[in-house]
Structure 1
Amino acid sequence: MRRRDRESDSFTVSFLDVASCGFGAMIILLIITKINDPVTLEIVDVPPEGRVIELQESLFAIRGETTILNRELNAKHEQLSALTDRVARLRRDLNDIEGRYQTTTELSDETTDEAGKLAIAQQSLTDEMQRLLANSPAAENNAVGGVPVDSEYIIFIIDTSGSMFNNPSWNKMLGVIDNTLDVYPEVKGIQIMNDMGDYMFNSYAGKWMPDTPSTRSRIISTLRNWQPYSNSSPVEGVTRAINTFYSPDKKISIYVLGDDFQPGGSIRNVLQTIDRINVEDANGNRLVRIHGIGFPVIFDFPQRFRQSVYRYATLMREMTSRNGGTFVGLNDFR
């Protein structure tokens, strides 16, 4: 009986030991294990219906302000475009005025030089020279309409730019050449070049064309559709014609036909270039005569383009005066 009681007490103690160890282990696991707070993935705030209406009204107000601002921005762009155009017009007018001033300055310098030369020449005249001049017979004047026609060879330098070719002035120019040839019933040679020095007939490059009725007819016929490149400056054509065709035993006249001289060119430089090539002989005569004919085509254009007409007239008037020729400015180009 005592032995059975001893076995029952032993079993009870062992069970309590195991239970205590188990609870202790669980407590230790809870202590050493880190417990985190729950993670919030997204907070959704669902506004009430009144808040939605308020936000919609704000959106509509912003859109209205955006529309107004866009209209104001477009208006500013239009104002800026108008101001830009005005500035461009003012710059063109300024360039026009500067070009006229440059032309006037060049002419003033040329006039001053010529006046100085004239004063020196007048001072060098003696009474004896004046008496001899008074008793000398007047020179024969072979001129038609103020244009000397004593030459035996004729060269036409024609401006083939668009302003000449694409206007009624081209037909007018054909008539002028035809009338000029009529003034010379017969010459020993004819040549046609444009203002760049390009030949109308390459087969006659560097040599004279014979003056025959068929040649004259062929010239007028070919001119109707002849338009090589042109920079509206006669200097290249005139210099090439003099360098190629001058001969001391030939009387040559050059006829320059054009309508404008662009502001980019220098009148003084052109005149000086021609002076260096078409020099005077011992008697003060130039190697060739240079005549000029001006077509007022640009007067049919807006005002800002007309400066080139004045420059052409100024250039040719001075060039022809220096080189024994005459400048004729037509009053109509049709």
Structure 2
Amino acid sequence: MKIRQKVAEPVSIAFLSVITCCFGAIILLLIITTSMDTENTEDPADPRIPKISLKQREIFSMQAASLGQLEELDKSLQTLEKLNLEKDAIAQKVQKASSQDRSVNDNNEERKVSIQKLLVAQQNLTDEMKRLYRELDQKETNLVGGIPIDSEYIIFIIDTSGSMFRYAWPKVIAQIEDTLRVYPKVKGVQIMNDMGVYMFPSFRSKWIPDSPARRRAINERLKTWNAFSNSSPAEGITEAIQTFNAEDKKISIYVYGDEFTGNSIRRVVDYVDKINHSDTPGENLVRIHAIGFPVQFAQPAQLQHTGIRFATLMRELTRKNGGTFVGLNAFR
């Protein structure tokens, strides 16, 4: 029997690794410890230490001062920002105020223009009112008993019948004098009776020149003038219109009477419309006015019809020929 010899096993690799790591760790700790001791070691006798300490204190003071300045700067910036906002707000208010001021100025200008226009309108209105008042005064001056007296030529047609001559003649003369008095000066005058008979035959179909002497002559002749009459003014009216009408003359006829004995009022009115027609629309060649004397109304009612017919005829003629009919209350 063989005896086997026991062989020794080599050192384990794992054990060697552990040992190696331990030594390495010890060495590393020694190195770190030595390094820290070297850095923390100060030499108390080093002359730079006081200067370094002073510089550090200065740095710390400067940092503190800088921090304070930064805080103040931040506050200043905040204040500046606030002021800028206030400035913008004020600028907006100023702009708004300027706009309002311009608007006010514009309104003031418009107001001034409006006031000026109103002043002009007021002046025009005042001038117009003055003109109208002048025209009104003129119109009032040109009216006598409601009869316009704006004509330059006048013709008197007088009923010379017995009833007028016996009962109303002084009143007739007074009325003619009054009419002439309100015409201080005319370019021509003519007088005929209701049948177309001229008071002054020498002036037949002609205008009698107006003068104080002629007016006195007319007044004297009237006192005794008693030409034949049929108590109908139709003939005298048609004779006056046909003889003296003229587009370029302002002519008025004054009829003085108390009755109409003609056949037809309508026929007289229609014929006068035919011969007194002007070329100007709405105008007549002559105006026709009438003064009615109530002689017939002093008689019994059954005898008053000719007086009523005269009033009816003359109202229609004056209405259609731009004139006025005036009925007197008394014939004396």
TM-score, normalized by the shorter chain, greater than 0.5: yes
Aligned to 2:202: 203
Please say if 1:150 is aligned against 2:150: yes
Cα displacement (A) at 1:225: 1.1
* Aligned partner of residue 274 in structure 1, secondary structure: helix
Aligned-residue RMSD, C-alpha: 1.7
* Residue 307 (structure 2) pairs with residue 309 (structure 1): yes
Instruction: Give the match for residue 238 of structure 1.
Output: 237
Structure 2 equivalent of residue 164 of structure 1: 164
Shift of 1:229: 1.3
* Shift in Å, 1:303: 2.1
Report the Cα distance in structure 1 between the residues aligned to 2:147 and 2:286, rounded to whole angstroms. 14
More off after superposition, 289-298 vs 242-251 = 242-251
Output the CA distance in 1 between the equivalents of 2:231 and 2:211: 30
User: Residue deviations 1:167-224, cap 9 Å, x none?
Assistant: 1x10000000000001101100010000110100011111111111111111111111
The amino acid that maps onto 2:178 is N
Of 294, 297, 303, which aligns to 2:295? 297
Equivalent pairs: percent with the same residue? Answer: 59
- Output the CA distance in 2 between the equivalents of 1:201 and 1:151: 22
Q: Counterparts of 1:219 and 1:308 in 2: how far apart (Å)?
A: 29
- Provide the C-alpha distance between the structure 2 equivalents of 1:306 and 1:270, rounded to a whole number of angstroms: 20
Q: Identify the range of structure 1 (137-146 vs 243-252) with the bigger mean alpha-carbon deviation.
A: 137-146
Cα distance in structure 2, aligned partners of 1:300 and 1:143: 30
Alignment-mate amino acid for residue 229 of structure 2: S
Structure 2 residue identity aligned to 1:157: I
The amino acid that maps onto 1:199 is: Y
Matches within 5 A, 1:89-100: none
The one of the two structures with greater contact order (alpha-carbon pairs below 8 A, sep at least 6) is: 1
Q: Which residue of 2 aligns with 1:87?
A: none
The equivalent of 1:185 in structure 2 is 184
Q: Residues 247 and 278 of structure 2 are in contact (CA less than 8 Å); yes or no, is this contact kept in structure 1?
A: no
Contact 2:154 2:190 in 1 (8 A): yes
Residue matched to 1:326: 324
Report the TM-score when normalising by structure 2: 0.57
- Which residue identity does 1:306 align to in structure 2? Q
Unaligned runs of 5+ in 2: 1-130
Rg comparison, structure with higher value: 2
Instruction: Give the AA of the match of 1:268.
Output: R
Task: Quote the residue 2:211 is aligned against.
Answer: 212
Q: What is the distance in 1 between the residues matched to 2:278 and 2:307?
A: 29
Between Structure 1 and Structure 2, how many residues are aligned? Answer: 197
Q: For 1:209, what is the secondary structure of its paired residue?
A: coil
CA distance in 2, matches of 1:249, 1:211: 19
> Deviations for 1:263-290, whole angstroms, at most 9, x for unmatched residues?
x521101101111111143231100000
Report the equivalent of 1:229.
228
- 2:83 is matched with none
Q: Structure 1 residue 231: deviation in Å?
A: 1.1
Contact map agreement 2:151 2:251 (CA 8 A) in 1? yes
Offset from partner CA, 1:237-265 (integer Å, 9 cap, x none): 11111111111111000000000112x52
Runs of 5+ consecutive residues of structure 1 not aligned to the other structure = 1-136
2:276 is matched with: 278
CA distance in 2, matches of 1:318, 1:189: 27
Question: C-alpha separation between the residues in 2 aligned to 1:161 and 1:152?
Answer: 29
CA deviation profile, 1:92-148 (whole Å, cap 9, x unmatched): xxxxxxxxxxxxxxxxxxxxxxxxxxxxxxxxxxxxxxxxxxxxx977633233111
**Distance in 2 between the 1:265 and 1:165 partners?**
23
